[in-house]
Structure 1
């Protein structure tokens, strides 16, 4: 059990490192990132929406046949958060008018990364082999998560320093934290509960991709945005296939 804990902690920390590398990379080449943020938004939307429909939702329903209402809660919960940010932060302070562009995806991605930490705990408790299979699939999407979280925070009006800190805490640190929180409770987190949590995170990710990223990307009318969207869908398919 002790070896399982350290292995799960090491791999969830690896996921955080990969996300952090994504944040650092786009921070170093920030001008390039800003010029191509529309493509990143399309790519991220493709990954988030496709991975949710092709993997997370079917997986959650297989674990909990009653998981569908949690999908709805995740979707509208993030919508209400967006309305709250717009009404009580953006409209009251003109300097923070665009904050919602960064905060909403940050919360959605952060919650999903936190639930990823639960999956590391459970997968390695089942078997070391299962844990490494889960790791291989999940690490694939960590790098772009860090990039898009950082870029959207900057686009939303946050300083580069604040964007680095917030994206690190939301997209990177949440995964090992989720693992540490869930591991002591591993015997209490049964399949139906994990299925409900996965469905909740899928609802949040679909909201971020379909109603937050894609509409803003379409306003830019970039020439190759559809290609970037297709690339995101392809990466999601690779993630799903790697998870078997």
Structure 2
């Protein structure tokens, strides 16, 4: 058990490091990122929607018979959070774009926290199982950091605040999820994990389909569909790496 703890901690920390590198890379090339943010939004939507429908949702459904209800709950909860931000944050600050950064940050942060729990579970099963899970999961960490940072900047947050919030939500949540879940690993059965995955998928579907795509479509950039397709292809590569 001790070995599985340290290997899970190292793996989740590696995921956080990859995400952080993504944040700092886009920070270094921020002007280019700002100019092409519509393409990043489409790319993010392609990744989040595809991974959710092709991998997370089927997995959750196979683990928990009530997963559809949790999927719906995840979607609705993030919708309510978006309405709360628009009603009580955007109106008071006068910046209608705040929700564009806050809502994806919450959805990605929740998903990253659950990723940390998955590291705990897979490495407890065996080192080999954990390594296989890590190989697939780390692939999506780099673009996750980039997307979170750019959307926060687009939402009106300062560069320093965007950097901090992106790190906290997209990077730090993964090892925190691992540390929080490991002491309770014996209590996290397949059904409970399925419920968490379904909640996460509902949140990610909301972020991708209801929150990001309308923003990208409103700008009507020439190659936005190619960016969406690229996101889908990356998602497919992530899914295939886990099989």
Shorter-chain TM-score range: over 0.9
Shift of 1:98: 1.4
Structure 2 equivalent of residue 169 of structure 1: 168
SS in structure 2 at match of 1:97: coil
Q: Which residue of 2 aligns with 1:70?
A: 70
SS in 2 for 1:187: helix
How far 1:65 sits from its partner (Å)?
1.6
* TM, length-normalised to structure 1: 0.99
Cα distance in 2, alignment partners of residues 134 and 27 from structure 1? 28
User: Hey, what does 2:198 align to over in structure 1?
Assistant: 199
Deviations 1:114-145 (A, max 9, x none): 00001000000111111011001100110111
In structure 2, the residue matched to 1:179 is: 178
Structure 1: distance between partners of 2:175 and 2:46: 25
What SS does the aligned partner of 1:92 have?
A: helix
Aligned to 1:221: 220
Tell me, in whole angstroms, the C-alpha distance in 2 between the residues paired with 1:212 and 1:64. 27
TM (normalized to structure 2)? 0.99
**Displacement after TM superposition at 1:219 (Å):** 1.1
Alignment-derived partner of residue 97 in structure 2: 98
Cα distance in structure 1, aligned partners of 2:93 and 2:156: 12
Query: Which deviations, in whole Å up to 9, do the C-alpha atoms of 1:81-117 show, x marking residues without a partner?
Result: 00000000101221x3311110000000000000000
Other-structure match for 2:59: 59
Q: Match for residue 114 of structure 1?
A: 113
- State the distance in 1 between where 2:167 and 2:96 align: 23
How many positions carry a matched residue from both structures? 243
Alignment of 1:5-24 (within 5 A): 5-24=5-24
* Runs of 4+, deviation exceeding 3 Å: none
Please give the root-mean-square deviation of Cα atoms over the aligned residues, in Å. 0.6
Q: Deviations over 1:177-236 (max 9, x none)?
A: 000000000000000000000000000000000011100011111111111100110111
Counterpart of 1:129 in structure 2 is 128
2:148 is matched with which residue?
A: 149
C-alpha distance in 2 between matches for 1:30 and 1:218: 22
Q: Deviations over 1:135-186 (max 9, x none)?
A: 0110011011100100000000000000000000000000000000000000
Provide the secondary structure at the position in 2 that maps to 1:186. helix
Q: CA deviation at 1:49?
A: 0.3
Q: What secondary structure does 2:92 align onto? A: coil
Match of 2:50 in 1: 50
Take 2:54 and 2:16, find their aligned partners in 1: how far apart are those partners?
24
Secondary structure, in 3 states, of the residue corresponding to 2:65? coil
Alignment correspondent of 1:237: 236
Equivalent position of 2:159 in the other structure: 160
